[in-house]
Amino acid sequence: MTDKILMATLKKHGLERFDPSPELERFDPNVHEAVFQTPMPDKEDGVCFFTQQKGFLLNGRVLRAAKVGVVKNS
């Protein structure tokens, strides 16, 4: 409950938290920081499969990039 109220208050001032959706979002160096890469034959290259730390946007600009694990098969 505290987290929900805090994030709602911060959103009023333009700060938003984002979490890359596993298997849906491709790695984008502008909003993600690749912490590690691992082979996964059932997934395509460049997909974020694990979020280690969520990122933050301030008025649509990256304040802190999300730390993610990325698939790399080759």
Which run of H or E residues covers position 17?
strand 15-18
Question: How much is the average pLDDT of 48-64?
Answer: 94
Fold of 1-71: Nucleotide Exchange Factor Grpe; Chain A, domain 2 (2.30.22)
Measure the CA–CA gap between 70 and 43, rounded to whole angstroms: 10
Per-residue confidence band for 20, with pLDDT thresholds at 50, 70 and 90: confident
The three-class DSSP label of residue 25 is coil
User: What pLDDT, on a 0 to 100 scale, did the predictor assign at position 25?
Assistant: 86
Paired strand residues for 69:
36, 50
Query: Where along the chain do its domains lie?
Result: 1-71
Q: What is the pLDDT of residues 28-38, one digit of tens each?
A: 999 999 999 99
Q: What are the structure tokens assigned to 1, written together?
A: 């409950």
Give which of 48, 58, 54 is closest to 23, Cα–Cα. 48
User: What pLDDT, on a 0 to 100 scale, did the predictor assign at position 74?
Assistant: 81
